[in-house]
A and B are shown apart, each in its own frame.
Chain A
Amino acid sequence: MFDNFINLWHGFAIAGDPFNILLMVVGILLGVIIGVLPGLGGANGVAILLPLTFSMSPTSAIILLSCIYWGALFGGAITSVLFNIPGEPWSVATTFDGHPMARQGKAGEALTAAFTSSFVGAFVAIIMITLVAPLVAAFALKFGPAEKFAVYFLAFCSFIGMSKEPPTKTIVSMMIGFALAAVGLDMVTGQLRLTFGFEELLNGFDFLIAVIGLFGIGEILLTMEEGLEFRGKAAKIDAKVVLRTWATLPRYWATSIRSCIIGCWMGITPAGATPASFMAYGIAKRVSKNGKNFGNGEIEGVVAPETAAHAAGTSALLPMLALGVPGSPTAAVLLGGLLIWGLQPGPMLFVEQKEFVWGLIASMYLGNVVGLLVVLTTVPLFAAILRIPFSIIAPVILVICAIGAYTVNNNVFDVVMMLVFGIAGYAMKKTGYPLAPLVLAIVLGDSAEEAFRQSLLSSGGSISVFWANPLVSTIMGLGILALVWPLISNAMSRLRVAQPA
């Protein structure tokens, strides 16, 4: 335990380097812009900027990219409150009370509350990561291939169980991701598979292209369909508003703590920030004595979802660092970045790349402090960006996506692939297929398959290896529990309804 604090101290020395602080500010600003613009979000924003970081040291690169992620988390709140348009899916719940507050002329209060609770949520999640991640990593060092596969199994099962879409749609989406990951050269046998003679497919599908297409192009098409016109409320934040709002916030400590717990839990199990924000909002509405007023501009209705979304978004990095299993699409992109920089995510990272891991964790502390200061001072600027008409911003975003897709592998064919993924993303969104499992499966496909095949090899082909010892059977059991959880909770609520009758 004490070791970790020394490590963290060293991490602060790395993250506190003036160049890295500059990267944090740049990252947060870029991230907020990305979070504010339609068609650019955390996942594809990081994917587009990833190639620009190839020449940096991995620590500086991850500081820049993770700060873009924090910035995008902050940015989502701005559009929700001022324009009633959730810039990111996890800020949908913030619109319920944030926008009514803006209509009552309390935009400044709503934004201050949103940013501050985001900060609190993220901060609690970072403390949790600092304390728990090294333990998880040390524990995971004992994992063999069977346990590794079991962890992947658990991650994907909780996706299926937690998703509000029909499970078969989630499975289809996920399995298409696995299939896309399998295309190309098979690492074990050196055979080509699923390429059907197309030379372009030799290297398989790059998940960065998929992310840029699915989330970027797909989102632009959806925005176009809804015929969005940005008609927003003006926001003025000055020190007086901030201080006045801060004075009221401690009153909602219970909501904050509850939302932090929900967020951390939902972030570690890869359910993600979006369900966490809805759950936190729903519970706060039920528990609060102002519950009836929720939806009419209750500040507690901003605090609850924002705290949970940020706690979830941040704690999604815990499984990515400690186990190599990302808890959200953006964490998946960051994980892909680690692989490109030549780092193997997972428990060994804590042993072999101490500087990197603790530099990143320290940068989370600093990045969120920097982020809070930056967003509180620059809101009017970002609100102005949203007033740029869609007919200018849309083609520019399309060009950015195309450049981003090209620079991943310096391949023109990827730009066409991005378009295909974009159309697929639009069709999937319209028919209720979730996109996140597809992205996670493309990123993890090769590792999951490798773990699966290695475990089968060691057992001579018998799948009993997945419940051969208590550890692996526990993880597999948890996975199955997560998979059938909706059925169980359904049955329980039915029982509860049946009894009083």
Chain B
Amino acid sequence: MQEAPHGAAAGVKQRSAEIGVGLFTLLLGAIVIYGSSKVGIGWGSDGPEAGFFPFYVGLFIAVCSLINLFSALREDPDAICSEWSQIRQVLKVLIPTAIYCLLVEPLGIYVPSIILIAVFMKWLGHYRWPITAAIAIGVPAAFYFVFEKWFLIPLPKGPVEALLGL
């Protein structure tokens, strides 16, 4: 992507990233082949069996993954894919997002959304509390009116909404 700066910028190597993805797709290919062979990959009484098409799809994934792995091994071992500082930036977004997605199931969509926006604004943006609170509560409230009142599409709700009687 970008030229590595002079000297040693430490981070995940492009080569390791490519090998990692290659191994993962190889695993996916193996799972698809295994899953297809369980339901039959041959010719049944009424034509091709359920696993016929996915079996070859899995085969393609596996073979091409091997080729990708092979060419990844020949790549420049020093090229950087992402520096550690960049990875930290990504994790700063990814971890709150992951927690957010997992909280939607027990708490509904509104409370986690308020928390997510507040965390981002307070932790990454260093905003003062009044403006943080205004946006963190205002945006989900706006979504509430657009979806539930205007388009009549119910969004997931949790115990807090039940308490408020929404």
Contact = CB atoms under 8 A, between A and B. Distances in A.
A396 B57 CA distance: 38
Interface string B144-164: 000100010111100000000
Nearest to B72: A431
A419 interface: yes
A423 B60 contact: no
A353 to B, nearest CB: 25
Interface of B: 1, 14, 17-18, 20-21, 25, 28-29, 31-32, 35-36, 38-39, 43-44, 46-54, 57-58, 60-61, 64-65, 67-68, 71, 81-82, 86-87, 89-90, 92-94, 97-98, 100-102, 104-105, 109, 113, 116-117, 119-121, 124-125, 127, 135, 139-140, 143, 147, 151, 153-156
B12 to A, nearest CB: 9
A285 B124 CA distance: 42
A172 B105 contact: no
A55 B139 CA distance: 24
A369 interface: no
Q: What secondary structure prevails in chain B residues at the interface with A?
A: helix
B35 A225 contact: no
Contacts of A413: 105
B140 A196 contact: no
A475 to B, nearest CB: 20
A89 interface: no
A452 B53 CA distance: 8
Contacts of B97: 217, 398, 419, 422
A389 B125 contact: yes
B139 A402 contact: no
Contacts of A449: 53
A453 B17 contact: no
A191 interface: yes
A426 B21 contact: no
A189 interface: yes
Interface stretch (A91-99, A163-171, A321-329): A163-171
Given A168-B64, A188-B50, A392 B28 contact: no
Interface string A380-399: 00000000010110111011
B61 A194 contact: no
A395 B121 contact: yes
B82 A225 contact: yes
A355 interface: no
Given A193-B35, A398-B100, A461 B43 contact: yes
A418 interface: yes
**Most chain-A Cβ atoms within 10 A of its Cβ — which of B31, B124, B140?**
B124
Contacts of A191: 39, 50
Contact of A189 (B18, B44, B89): B44
B102 A403 contact: no
A427 to B, nearest CB: 6
A461 B45 CA distance: 12
B160 to A, nearest CB: 16
